[in-house]
Amino acid sequence: MFAILDTDHFSAVDRSSAAARTFDRRAASYTGDLFISVITVEEVMRGWLALLASRKQREDEISVYSRLKRSAEMFGQWDILDWDQDAFGTFETLRKKRLKMSTSDMKIASIALAHDATLLTRNLQDFTKVPGLCVENWLD
């Protein structure tokens, strides 16, 4: 039994927000393993790179690079699930269902389904559309 953090859950933990404390309480009593997906790594890195690109002054990049470094260090604390053939096959099946959700979310859902894992997300509206996907929100 294990669960995969969606990007919103990883980001909350990374920011050490109030929601992260709620997550930490839930995680402390969880008997399974927790993972993130390589898609979450991609989404977080894309966010930091876009923020860096938007900085007009080099000095403004200092805090962004500091936060990017923190996220990179956080990645090292998690086991990261691959985007593999099983996930890709599941993705192709879901894509044919024409679900209204982003490609990244569908990839994360596919990884969770391929591993028969629970997906931890705040985005229940989109992810509950995915047949057979077990979702929970540990932030609220």
Say which residues have a Cβ less than 8 Å from residue 58's Cβ, sequence separation at least 6: none
57 vs 6: which has the higher pLDDT = 6
Could you tell me if residue 111 is inside a domain? yes
Could you tell me if residue 21 is inside a domain? yes
Q: Residue 3 gets which letter from DSSP?
A: E
- The model's pTM is 0.91
Could you tell me if residue 19 is inside a domain? yes
Could you tell me if residue 7 is inside a domain? yes
Q: How far apart are the first and last CA of the chain?
A: 22
Q: What is the pLDDT of residue 112?
A: 98
59 vs 69: which has the higher pLDDT = 69
Domain count, the chain: 1
From CA 112, how far away is CA 5, in angstroms rounded? 9
Could you tell me if residue 29 is inside a domain? yes
Mean pLDDT of 135-139: 95
Could you tell me if residue 16 is inside a domain? yes
Could you tell me if residue 51 is inside a domain? no
Q: Pairing mode, if any, of strands 79-81 and 118-120?
A: unpaired
From CA 131, how far away is CA 123, in angstroms rounded? 15
From CA 40, how far away is CA 43, in angstroms rounded? 5
Give all strands (DSSP E) within 31-105, no chain letters.
Answer: 33-37, 79-81
Mean pLDDT of 80-99: 96
Q: Give me the domain span that covers residue 116.
A: 2-40+79-136
Percent of the chain with pLDDT over 70: 100
Q: What is the pLDDT of residue 126?
A: 92
* CATH number of the domain to which 112 belongs: 3.40.50.1010
Could you tell me if residue 94 is inside a domain? yes
Q: Give backbone dihedrals phi and psi of 119, rounded to 5 degrees, phi first.
A: -100, 125
Work out the number of other CB atoms within 10 angstroms of the CB of residue 83.
17
- DSSP three-state, residue 118: strand
Work out the number of other CB atoms within 10 angstroms of the CB of residue 120.
27
